[in-house]
């Protein structure tokens, strides 16, 4: 049975981990993909071995940061999907929520999705692509659950919801990555254009149980 001392140690460890992630966030906001374990340790006021003790390596730290930001993004996307509005408005709000998130913190987005390009150091040559794929898969699976819960897709609804979920996430990621790099149009224009692309079969299916749907 867990003792009071053990519970306090666990709370202290969780708090320390949160503080280290906040320090890592500050460095990532400043340095983007070039954020290093040395810089993060310095920001946190600790040595790099202590940072490794908490996260193992840069991959462990990356996964912790990815979960932190993905959790927050998923909460925001669910809120947009559940807002009291027409389906088209909720679709646009969901797209805008994703784009607004990467626009607000582009350095964090680049750290999560793009490796450092100008350093030969092994630590900074970290293979982000190998780790970002699971992040996108998680977003796709979570969106699939939301779609299946809110929209009646008929037979094989689970499979079709997963196709749609991963397809929409792939579209948002690819279009958002291009848009963030080139800024060829306003965010509002991009949202409308992507919503138009989605507004085919999605506009014709029925909601489940007469609810607000997706």
CATH number of the domain enclosing 87: 1.10.357.10
In a domain, 141, yes or no: yes
In a domain, 130, yes or no: yes
Residue pair 79/98 in contact (Cβ under 8 Å)? The answer is no
In a domain, 148, yes or no: yes
Q: For 74-107, b where at least 16 C-beta lie within 10 A, e where not — what string?
A: eebbbebbeeeeebeebbbbbbbbbbebbeebeb
Kindly tell me the burial class for residue 111, based on how many C-beta atoms sit within 10 Å of its own C-beta (0-12, 13-18, 19 or more): buried
- Note the pLDDT tens digit of each residue in 164-212: 999 999 999 999 999 999 999 999 999 999 999 988 866 777 777 665 5
In a domain, 57, yes or no: no
In a domain, 53, yes or no: no
Tell me the average pLDDT of the chain.
85
Task: Estimate the crossing angle of helix 106-113 against helix 128-150, to 10 degrees.
Answer: 110
What is the extent of the structural domain holding 138? 65-210
Residue pair 111/35 in contact (Cβ under 8 Å)? The answer is yes
Residue pair 157/145 in contact (Cβ under 8 Å)? The answer is no
In a domain, 81, yes or no: yes
In a domain, 58, yes or no: no
Query: pTM value?
Result: 0.81
pLDDT band, very low/low/confident/very high, at 95 (cuts 50, 70, 90)? very high
- The residue behind tokens 């607004």 is 100
pLDDT band, very low/low/confident/very high, at 118 (cuts 50, 70, 90)? very low
Kindly tell me the burial class for residue 201, based on how many C-beta atoms sit within 10 Å of its own C-beta (0-12, 13-18, 19 or more): exposed
In a domain, 139, yes or no: yes
- Residue 42: pLDDT above 50? yes
How many separate domains does the chain show? 1
Q: Which of 102-106, 110-114, 119-123 has the lowest mean pLDDT?
A: 119-123
Those residues whose C-beta lies under 8 Å from the C-beta of residue 19, and which sit 6 or more positions away, are 44
* Residues pairing with 152 in the sheet: 206
Cα–Cα dist 148/146, whole Å = 6
């Amino acid at each position: 049975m867990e003792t009071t001392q053990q519970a306090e140690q666990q709370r202290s460890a969780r708090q320390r981990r949160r503080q280290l992630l906040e320090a890592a966030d500050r460095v990532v906001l400043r340095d983007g993909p070039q954020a290093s374990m040395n810089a993060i340790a310095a920001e946190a006021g600790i040595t790099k071995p202590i940072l490794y003790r908490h996260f193992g390596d840069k991959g462990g730290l990356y996964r912790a940061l990815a979960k932190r930001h993905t959790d927050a993004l998923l909460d925001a996307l669910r809120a947009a999907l559940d807002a009291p509005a027409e389906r088209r408005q909720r679709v646009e709000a969901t797209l805008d929520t994703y784009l607004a998130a990467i626009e607000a913190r582009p350095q964090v987005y680049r750290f999560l999705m793009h490796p450092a390009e100008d350093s030969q150091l092994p630590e900074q040559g970290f293979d982000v692509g190998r780790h970002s794929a699971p992040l996108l898969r998680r977003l796709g699976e979570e969106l699939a659950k939301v779609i299946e819960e809110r929209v009646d897709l008929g037979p094989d609804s689970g499979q079709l919801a997963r196709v749609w979920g991963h397809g929409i996430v792939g579209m948002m990621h690819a279009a958002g990555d291009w848009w963030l790099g080139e800024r060829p149009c306003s965010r509002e224009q991009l949202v409308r254009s992507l919503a138009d692309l989605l507004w085919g079969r999605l506009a014709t299916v029925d909601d489940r149980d007469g609810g607000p749907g997706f």
